[in-house]
Structure 1
Amino acid sequence: METRRRSIVKAVIWNVLGLVSMTLVGLIATGSVKAGGMMALVNTGIGFTVYLFYERVWAKISWGRSHV
């Protein structure tokens, strides 16, 4: 089973990567760093929360794991 700390660290790293990429997409789409940054922050907040719950649910599911 995965620890809560590991799940949180994974979620933070994943969301930092998402924040950077979404900022670039927002900048390209709008031409504005401010608008792109705001889009990225909202997306990161939602994504972090959903990902964290998603990881915790899957940590409790034993299907597909090898117990060798």
Structure 2
Amino acid sequence: MESKKRSLAKAISWQVVGLFSMAILGDIFTGSFFAGGELALTSCGFGFVAYILHERVWAAVHWGLKAASGVAAPSAG
């Protein structure tokens, strides 16, 4: 299972990538880098929370996990 710090670091790095790509797309479609940036920041905040929740839910799901050799698989109960 991932630590909360790792999940947080992954969420932050992913949102930085998303922020820049969304700002560029917003500029292309609106002609305004400022408008694109506003859209990107709004999307970034929402996506950040959604990503962390999504990762934490999946961390609790044991379906499809395989145990490493010599390590017991997590119990389902």
TM-score (norm 1): 0.97
| Highest RCO, 1 vs 2 (Cα 8 Å, sep ≥ 6) | 1
TM-score (norm 2): 0.86
In the TM superposition, 1:2-21 aligns within 5 A as: 2-21=2-21
Q: Which has the higher helix share?
A: 1
Unaligned runs of 5+ in 1: none
Unaligned runs of 5+ in 2: 69-77
Deviation of 1:9 (Å): 0.3
When Rg is computed on C-alpha atoms for both structures, the one with the higher figure is 2
Q: Report the AA paired with residue 33 of structure 1.
A: F
Deviation of 1:55 (Å): 0.3
In structure 2, the residue matched to 1:57 is 57
Size of the alignment, in residue pairs? 68
In structure 1, the residue matched to 2:72 is none
CA distance in 2, matches of 1:56, 1:28: 34
Deviation of 1:25 (Å): 0.5
Deviation of 1:7 (Å): 0.4
Q: Which contiguous aligned blocks of 4+ residues in structure 1 show a shift greater than 3 angstroms? A: none
